[in-house]
């Protein structure tokens, strides 16, 4: 690759450990992983962060229910996240826990700076709080929501619909109200900051409606990071959580300033739409207060829906990711959630649709192409890739023409987090290769000595298409792509960047070819059942 490797810092939210990771948690992490993998393959110096959010009243209550201390409870829950990320083949470079000393120091340092800058003041809070969402709501927000729901006397959370509690306590406040104009100016000057457009418009509407100062500390419980300048207060869990993105790259650590300078600002935060205001309003305002650069973009995805409803245990429609992994395998799981859900909108999922996508795209198209081509190499060329001279390799075919035009639209789609479009570009090459087999009929060419050269040319073109498709599928199905390359006697090489890697004509000639087992055996939809 000609250009110098650039830092690419990407994050998931840090996940609350009051319950085991669910399908939505896995979805966010998978989107982030696919983007991180693309950037690595494309030659960038990637740092991919995920982690766990371990403070707050909800954690303290969950721990008490299980007769544990909050620290014991979080220590008990965190391994479930590591286990699922390993099973999903998530390639994170760091996993941060907010109970780590590095984070405590960074949060205290950050809040000291905020206080010194004049953006914190002490007062009392009297208002509504949702413990499950760890979110404050104004009287106006609560009234408007409950009037819309038809019960003006109720005090329900506008986000989750559960009962709110009245909180009255001393608190330190952040002067969020002073940042309304600055935030609106940033959104206008950097339209890429909030993606996609529908989410940007949502935030614009919210901020234009006016901002209230934010309570950033609690005194009614002690499970949190103490304020260094007022040890009777612990940090509001969402303020604590947001600072993790800085902690992980060295903020407040004198020994990591070079790394901080290299990695910050983050290139992308990937989040669900339920936490958009924290990441697109509160977080940038706090960074502005300290004159720190803002993240370059926040990508906001929708909810996963089952039969039109958001998944939840209370509705009885929650699906355990491990059940799906057991049925479909990791790469088919990854492929479905990356390609068949519109990531900026809510996306409806079903077991039946997963099986349809598996059979159509993976078993019938990709898996079938690999099986046919590798079998023909074994049969017609003694298990070797055909050998051609440079002039023959350079001949233009429908396959080489398609392959040479793939990188730009593919990379553009990935950078927009439109993995469905990126996968469609790869599938278009695969479908063309399958059609090429039918049109060129290598089994007929094999019957005559006179057409052996043409047979070698045809098989070479098919195998080269497979090599290129394997690289483009790497962010989606990393293990399958490695397996396909291995069967062509190739090792993945990410030193050159994806565009150079996928230039036509780099198939290793005369190399051993292994047929192997079917990559994606067809599934019988009627026999698929989820575990209970």
pLDDT one-digit tens code per residue, 125-136: 777 878 777 777
All structural domains of the chain = 349-501 (1.10.730.10)
Residue 83 phi, psi (nearest 5): -65, -45
Query: Per-residue pLDDT tens for 144-191?
Result: 666 666 665 667 887 677 788 887 889 999 999 999 999 999 999 999
pLDDT (0 to 100) of residue 430? 98
Place of tokens 């004198």: 254
pLDDT (0 to 100) of residue 168? 80
Residue 340 phi, psi (nearest 5): -110, 5
pLDDT (0 to 100) of residue 152? 57
Q: Using CA atoms, how far apart are residues 186 and 519, in angstroms rounded to an integer?
A: 48
Computed over every residue of the chain, the mean pLDDT equals 92
Q: Does the pLDDT at position 220 exceed 80?
A: yes
Report the candidate in 524, 397, 391, 369 with the shortest Cα–Cα distance to residue 458: 397
The stretch 356-375 carries a mean pLDDT of 97
Q: Which residues pair with 194 in a beta bridge?
A: 298
Q: Does the pLDDT at position 42 exceed 80?
A: yes
Q: Using CA atoms, how far apart are residues 373 and 115, in angstroms rounded to an integer?
A: 66
pLDDT (0 to 100) of residue 147? 62
The stretch 414-443 carries a mean pLDDT of 97
Token pair recorded at residue 473: 């599928």
Query: Per-residue pLDDT tens for 239-285?
Result: 999 999 999 999 999 999 999 999 999 999 999 999 999 999 999 99
* C-beta separation of 351 from 528 below 8 A: yes
């Amino acid at each position: 690759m000609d250009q110098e490797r650039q830092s690419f810092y990407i994050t998931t939210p840090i996940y609350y450990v009051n319950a085991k990771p669910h399908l939505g948690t896995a979805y966010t992490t998978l989107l982030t992983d696919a983007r991180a993998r693309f950037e690595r393959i494309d030659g960038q110096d990637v740092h991919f962060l995920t982690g766990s959010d371990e403070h707050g009243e909800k954690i303290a209550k969950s721990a008490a229910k299980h007769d544990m201390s909050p620290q014991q409870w979080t220590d008990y829950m965190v391994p479930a996240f590591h286990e699922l990320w390993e099973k999903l083949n998530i390639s994170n470079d760091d996993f941060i826990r907010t109970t780590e000393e590095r984070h405590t120091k960074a949060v205290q340092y950050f809040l000291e700076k905020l206080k010194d800058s004049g953006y914190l003041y002490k007062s009392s809070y009297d208002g509504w709080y949702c413990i499950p969402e760890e979110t404050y709501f104004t009287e106006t927000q609560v009234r408007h929501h409950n009037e819309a729901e038809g019960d003006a006397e109720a005090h329900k959370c506008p986000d989750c619909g559960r009962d709110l509690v009245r909180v009255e306590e001393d608190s330190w406040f952040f002067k969020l109200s002073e940042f309304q104009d600055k935030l609106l100016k940033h959104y206008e000057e950097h339209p890429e900051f909030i993606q996609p457009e529908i989410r940007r418009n949502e935030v614009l509407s919210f901020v234009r409606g006016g901002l209230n100062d934010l309570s950033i500390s609690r005194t009614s419980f002690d499970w949190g990071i103490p304020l260094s300048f007022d040890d009777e207060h612990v940090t509001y869990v969402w303020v604590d959580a947001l600072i993790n993105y800085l902690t992980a790259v060295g903020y407040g650590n004198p020994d990591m300033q070079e790394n901080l300078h290299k990695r910050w600002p983050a290139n992308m935060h990937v989040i669900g739409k339920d936490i958009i205001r924290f990441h697109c309003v509160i977080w940038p305002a706090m960074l502005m207060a300290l004159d720190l650069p803002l993240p370059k973009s926040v990508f906001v995805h929708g909810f996963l829906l089952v039969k039109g409803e958001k998944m939840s245990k209370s509705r009885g429609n929650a699906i355990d990711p491990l059940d799906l992994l057991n049925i479909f395998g990791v790469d088919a799981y990854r492929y479905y959630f990356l390609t068949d859900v519109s990531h900026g909108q809510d996306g409806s999922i079903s077991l039946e649709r997963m099986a349809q996508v598996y059979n159509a795209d993976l078993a019938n198209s990709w898996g079938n192409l690999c099986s046919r081509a590798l079998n023909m190499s074994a049969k017609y060329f003694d298990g070797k890739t055909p050998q051609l001279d440079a002039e023959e390799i350079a001949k233009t075919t429908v396959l080489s023409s398609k392959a040479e035009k793939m990188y730009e639209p593919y990379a553009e789609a990935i950078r927009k987090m439109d993995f469905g479009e990126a996968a469609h570009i790869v599938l278009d090459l695969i479908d063309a290769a399958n059609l090429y087999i039918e049109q060129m009929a290598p089994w007929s060419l094999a019957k005559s000595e006179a057409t052996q050269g043409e047979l070698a040319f045809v098989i070479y073109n098919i195998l080269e298409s497979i090599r290129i498709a394997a690289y483009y599928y790497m962010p989606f199905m990393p293990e399958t792509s490695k397996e396909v390359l291995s069967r062509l006697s190739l090792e993945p090489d990410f030193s050159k960047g994806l565009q150079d890697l996928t230039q036509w004509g780099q198939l290793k000639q005369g190399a051993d070819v292994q047929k192997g087992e079917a990559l994606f055996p067809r599934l019988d939809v009627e026999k698929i059942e989820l575990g209970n």
